[in-house]
Amino acid sequence: MEPAHVHVRSGQRIAKYWLTPVVLLAESYEMSPAELKEIENVVRENQSTIKEAWDDHLGSHSGE
C-alpha cells in the first residue's frame, strides 16, 4: 500500500503529494512551478485534515 498522499487535478494537469513524513511533491504533469508552489502551500496548511480523511477512508475500506 502506498503512503498517505493526495492527488490534485486541474483539467489535464495533475500533481501528487506525499503527506508523511513531510509534504513532498511525488509527481506532476503539466503543472507550472507557480501552481505547484501554491498547491504545496495549501496541502501543507491542511496536512492534518487531509491525513485524517486518508485514515478515515482506509479505515472504512479495511473491513473494520
Provide the grid cell at 31.
503543472
Residue 48's domain comprises: 5-60
How much is the pTM?
Answer: 0.86
Provide the grid cell at 60.
472504512
Given this model, what pLDDT does residue 64 score? 47
Per DSSP, the three-state class of 30 is coil
Length of the chain: 64
Residue 62 has pLDDT above 60, yes or no: no
Average pLDDT value for the chain: 92
Q: For 18-36, how does the pLDDT look when each residue is reduced to its tens digit (9 = 90+)?
A: 999 999 999 999 999 999 9
Whole-angstrom Cα distance, residue 35 to residue 54?
23
Residue 38 has pLDDT above 60, yes or no: yes
Count structural domains, the chain: 1
Geometric angle at alpha carbon 11, from 35 and 15, rounded to 5°:
45
